[in-house]
């Protein structure tokens, strides 16, 4: 059978009454112990300041792409790093008397620094807000330390940002000077190279290329004229020898030679633009070889049929005229060969000049490429230096990163954490609950039967009648005295609470 709340309360009261002495002793001890604890419990005051850290300023959209504005991801972490730095802690130690006028050792300073860190609270208080708080027994000291930590964080953050921008500007400025010198050296190298190589002036390659083409054509034209004069000599000689039978073969040979000459001109023109492995070049060379073989066959065939059958008389006018023509043709051939030799020499000179120009152009292209690379990097560094200069100006005027005190640390009046009233209330509650619980617990573990429900519900025994204990007159007087004593003790304890609280309020 489950006991109701009323039955349980009656049972607790009965057990408390049965163990009046124990309950009174426990009540008095617990109540007075918490009263002493509340009296001697040191007061802890907390003073906090709220700081706004924001990089969203009116300048940011205007300077986007021009200046870099600092982005703060973990502001509380940044604040802890600044406040808990050795330099900041030394400044806090020097600003307040933490050692009662004594000169501390290094170990004592380190221990005090650790205590200060434990008493310091640095946390996010909202979007773009940081809370810096300090707990201490002296409210003025708590306020002073909180203000000093706030000042250290604000000043050091702004100085660090300004230093960062200044260092970035100086670094980029040095790189600009370095690449400016490289650019000047590259310009000087190009000028000196052009002065040493006159052939490297613009347009010289095209002029030399055109000159080579002209000389090549002149050589080919001279070859055609020489072949024409040689053919003329052969024809005249044939007239002298009376070899009219071979005139047809000679005409065919001349035709073949003219085709070969035209193909050689075409081959030289192709070689100016293509390599020997180009299909058109290979095809023309093959045609020239085929025609040369046909010419050789025609010459052999003419020589095999050639028979000196009839000659002109050397004294005849026709013979002498033919001889003069032959002599003139030979003289013309000698002149043409001399012109061809000179033209070929000029052609070799121009080809060597072209080779030099190609080598010079390759080296000049490399120098120009180095100059272009240095120029591009130099221009980029100039833009970066200007951006860094603008960023440095923005940070110098505190326009890039907004760090300001939203709420200053105030003098705390009410202690933080558990106060006197809390401890007193807890002491009164526990001084009642613990003795009552102790009495009830003892009644459970002693094994005595105190209610008939135990017999009927647990032991399943029938109960015929219930006989309660009747106190004698002496026991009644004794219980009355003990009850009065309990009441007096409780009243005394409560009086102590009221008196101590009155003293506490008076300070």
Task: Choose the weakest-confidence range: 65-74, 179-188, 377-386, 430-439.
Answer: 65-74
pLDDT in tens, 330-384: 888 888 888 888 888 888 887 777 777 777 667 767 777 877 888 888 888 888 8
| 119 HSE (CA, 13 A, CB side) | 23
Label residue 105 by pLDDT band (50, 70, 90).
confident
pLDDT at residue 244 in the model: 42
Are 311 and 242 within 8 A, CB to CB? Answer: yes
Are 427 and 55 within 8 A, CB to CB? Answer: no
The answer to whether residue 243 scores a pLDDT higher than 50 is: no
Task: Choose the weakest-confidence range: 86-95, 116-125, 357-366.
Answer: 357-366
DSSP-assigned letters across all residues of 207-231: HHHHHHHHHHHHHHHHHHHHHHHHH
pLDDT at residue 91 in the model: 87
pLDDT winner (highest mean) among 23-27, 386-390, 459-463: 23-27
Are 223 and 343 within 8 A, CB to CB? Answer: no
Q: What integer is the mean pLDDT of 249-258? A: 73
Least Cα distance to 96 among 137, 48, 148, 153 occurs for 148
User: How far is Cα 246 from Cα 250, in angstroms, rounded to an integer?
Assistant: 6
pLDDT at residue 58 in the model: 37
Percent of the chain with pLDDT over 90: 0
Residue 74: alpha-carbon gap to chain centroid: 18
Q: What integer is the mean pLDDT of 29-54? A: 81
Q: Which residue has the higher pLDDT, 453 or 65?
A: 453
The tokens for 81 are 């790093």
The answer to whether residue 48 scores a pLDDT higher than 80 is: yes
Label residue 455 by pLDDT band (50, 70, 90).
low
- Find the DSSP H helices in 197-316: 204-241, 247-271, 279-305
DSSP 418: S
pLDDT at residue 94 in the model: 86
Predicted TM-score (pTM) above 0.85: no
Q: What integer is the mean pLDDT of 421-437? A: 83
Give the number of residues written for the chain. 507
The dihedral region occupied by 376, where left means phi > 0, alpha psi between -120 and 50, and beta the remainder, is alpha
Q: What integer is the mean pLDDT of 217-226? A: 84
Q: What integer is the mean pLDDT of 487-494? A: 84
pLDDT at residue 404 in the model: 74
Q: What integer is the mean pLDDT of 479-505? A: 81
Q: What integer is the mean pLDDT of 280-285? A: 82
- Domain ranges in the chain are 1-41+420-507, 244-306
Percent of the chain with pLDDT over 70: 75
The tokens for 507 are 């300070």
Label residue 306 by pLDDT band (50, 70, 90).
low
Label residue 262 by pLDDT band (50, 70, 90).
confident
The answer to whether residue 133 scores a pLDDT higher than 50 is: yes
Q: What integer is the mean pLDDT of 459-480? A: 69
The answer to whether residue 479 scores a pLDDT higher than 50 is: yes
Average pLDDT score over the chain: 76
Label residue 325 by pLDDT band (50, 70, 90).
confident
pLDDT in tens, 68-78: 444 444 677 88
The answer to whether residue 55 scores a pLDDT higher than 80 is: no
């Amino acid at each position: 059978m489950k006991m109701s709340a009323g039955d349980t309360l009656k049972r607790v009261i009965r057990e408390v009454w049965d163990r009046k002495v124990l309950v009174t002793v426990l009540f008095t001890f617990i109540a007075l112990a918490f009263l002493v604890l509340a009296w001697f419990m040191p007061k802890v005051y907390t003073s906090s300041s709220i700081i706004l850290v924001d990089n969203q300023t009116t300048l940011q959209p205007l300077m986007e792409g021009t200046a870099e504005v600092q982005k703060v991801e973990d502001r509380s972490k940044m604040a802890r790093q600044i406040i808990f730095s050795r330099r900041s802690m030394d400044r806090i130690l020097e600003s307040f008397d933490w050692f009662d006028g004594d000169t501390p050792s290094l170990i004592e300073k380190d221990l005090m620094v650790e205590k200060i860190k434990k008493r310091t609270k640095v946390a996010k208080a909202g979007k773009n807000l940081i809370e810096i708080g300090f707990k201490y027994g002296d409210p003025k000291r708590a306020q002073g330390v909180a203000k000093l930590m706030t000042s250290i964080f604000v000043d050091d953050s702004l100085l660090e940002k300004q230093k960062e921008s200044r260092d970035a500007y100086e670094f980029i400025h040095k790189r600009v000077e370095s690449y400016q010198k490289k650019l000047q050296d590259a310009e000087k190298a190009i000028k000196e190279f052009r002065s040493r190589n006159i052939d490297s002036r613009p347009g010289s390659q095209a002029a030399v290329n055109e000159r080579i083409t002209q000389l090549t054509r002149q050589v080919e034209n001279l070859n055609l004229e020489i072949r024409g004069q040689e053919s003329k000599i052969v024809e005249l000689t044939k007239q002298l020898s009376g070899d009219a039978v071979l005139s047809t073969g000679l005409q065919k040979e001349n035709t073949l030679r003219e085709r070969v000459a035209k193909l050689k001109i075409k081959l030289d023109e192709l070689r100016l633009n293509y390599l020997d492995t180009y299909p058109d070049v290979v095809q023309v060379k093959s045609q020239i070889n085929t025609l040369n073989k046909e010419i050789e066959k025609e010459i052999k065939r003419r020589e095999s049929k050639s028979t000196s059958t009839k000659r002109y008389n050397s004294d005849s006018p026709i013979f002498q005229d033919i001889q003069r023509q032959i002599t003139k043709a030979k003289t013309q051939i000698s002149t043409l060969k001399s012109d061809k030799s000179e033209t070929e020499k000029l052609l070799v000179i121009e080809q060597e000049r072209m080779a030099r120009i190609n080598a010079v152009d390759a080296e000049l292209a490399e120098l120009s490429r180095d100059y272009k690379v240095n120029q591009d990097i130099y221009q980029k560094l100039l833009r970066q230096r200007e951006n860094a200069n603008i960023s440095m100006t923005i940070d110098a005027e505190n326009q890039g990163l907004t760090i300001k005190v939203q709420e200053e640390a105030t003098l705390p009046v009410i202690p933080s954490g558990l106060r006197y009233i809390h401890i007193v209330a807890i002491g009164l509650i526990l001084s009642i609950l613990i003795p009552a619980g102790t009495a009830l617990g003892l009644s459970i573990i002693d094994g005595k039967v105190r209610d008939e429900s135990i017999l009927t519900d647990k032991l399943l025994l029938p109960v015929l009648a219930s006989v309660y204990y009747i106190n004698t007159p002496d026991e009644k007087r004794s219980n009355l005295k003990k009850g009065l004593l309990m009441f007096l003790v409780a009243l005394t304890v409560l009086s102590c609470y009221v008196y101590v609280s009155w003293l506490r309020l008076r300070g």
